[in-house]
Amino acid sequence: MLLVRTHNLNTYAKSENISLIENPKEIEQILKDSKVILKKEMPAGMQNWALLKFKSHTYLFMQMPNQTLLIKKEQRFGAPSFILILWAVFVASILFLYISILKSIYPIKVLRKKIEEFKKGNLNINFELKRKDEVGFLAKEFQEAIDNLKKSAELRQWFLRNVAHELKTPIAKGMIASELLNDENRKQNFLRIFKRLDVLINELLSIEQIAAKNIEDSAQCYRFSQILESAKKLLFLEDEKIKYTPDVNYTLKVDIDFFAIAIKNLIDNGIKFSSNKSISIYEKDKKIIFSNLGEKPHIDSDKMFEPFSKETSPKNKEGMGLGLYVTRYILDKHKIKITYNYENGENIFTLHIKQILCDN
C-alpha cells in the first residue's frame, strides 16, 4: 500500500519538476536547519504538514501515521500544485485508514457470528483466531470456556446414563420380586413404588437428551396432524379421547421426536384432569390450543411448569411433577411460548407457534 503510494508520488513529482527526498539523514538535516514558512497540525490519525525553507529551496513536509514525506522544489510552490499534492496525500491517507479499520474490525465480526452460534446452543464451534491483540485474547478465552462446557456436558451425560443403568437393574428385579408376593396389598404398593422410580428415571433421561441436542440442526417441517399422530402412539390412547379437526393443519419446523413428547404430555395432562376424560385440540391465529373440561388445578399457574410441582388432587397421585416441566423445556428449545388460562370451566393451554411456522 505504502509502496504504491510512494511510486505514484514519484511519478507525479517528475511531471511537476519536484523531487521526493528519501534519504533519512538528508531529511533529518533539512527538518533540523530549515525555516518554517507555514505549518498545520491535524487531529490524531491524520497527516500533519508544513511548508519549509532550506537554503535556496522550498520543501513540503507531510507526516502521516505510517509514513513521512519530504518534497523539494526549486521555485516556490504554486497554489494549485500545493493544493493538489495535499489533496492526493489526504485521499491516500484516508483510504489507507479506511482499509486499516476494516481489517481491524473484521475479526470482531467473525467473533460476533460465532458467539451467536454459541448462544443458540452450538458447542461445536472454533473460536480460535490467530491474533495477539485483545480480540485474539477474547477469542481464546471463549474457546477455553466452550471446551470446559463440553467436558462438563459429557461428564454429566456419562454420570446420568450410568446412574440410570445402575438404578434400572434393581428396579426391574424389585418389580419381578413384588409379583411373587402373596399379600396383594403389599404387592401393589411395591409395584407402585418401583413404577414411580422407573418413570422418574425415564423423565430425567429425557431432559438430559433434550439438553444435549441442538434442536435447530434436527428440526424439519411437519404437518401438525403428523406430530399429533406421533404423540398418540406414545400414549396408546383411543382416538375418541382426542377431539381434533385439521381445519388449518399448520406446518411446523420442529424436532418431531421431542416435540411429540411435549404434545403427548399436554394431552396426557388434559385427559387426566378432565371431567369427561377427553381433550379438544384446535388451531387458529397461529396458535395451537389444548382445552379440557374440569376444575382449576390447586396450584399457581406460575409454578405448574416448575420441576416436581404437581397438583395435589387424587387424580395426580401417580404423577412426578415433571410432565409440564419437560413440555416447557422442549417448547423453550423450539422458541415457543406456552400460556395457561382457566375460562368457563375449561383448562386452556395455548402454544404460540408463529416462530416455527413453515411457508405453506
Give the pLDDT band (50/70/90) at residue 3: very low
Q: What is the pLDDT of residues 143-200, one digit of tens each?
A: 888 888 878 777 777 777 777 777 778 888 888 888 888 888 888 888 888 877 887 7
Residues 40-61, mean pLDDT to the nearest whole number = 71
Q: Note the pTM of the prediction, 2 decimals.
A: 0.55
Residue 201, CB half-sphere, CA atoms under 13 Å: how many?
20
pLDDT of residue 14: 54
Residues 308-323, mean pLDDT to the nearest whole number = 59
In 3-state terms, what secondary structure has residue 37? strand
Chain centre to alpha carbon of residue 77: 60
d(CA 162, CA 151): 16
Average pLDDT, the chain: 78
Q: What is the pLDDT of residues 208-219, one digit of tens each?
A: 777 767 777 788
Give the pLDDT band (50/70/90) at residue 287: very high
Residue 133, CB half-sphere, CA atoms under 13 Å: how many?
5
pLDDT of residue 349: 94
pLDDT of residue 341: 92
> Which of 83, 89, 131 lies closest to 110 in space, CA to CA?
131
Residue 78 has pLDDT above 70, yes or no: no
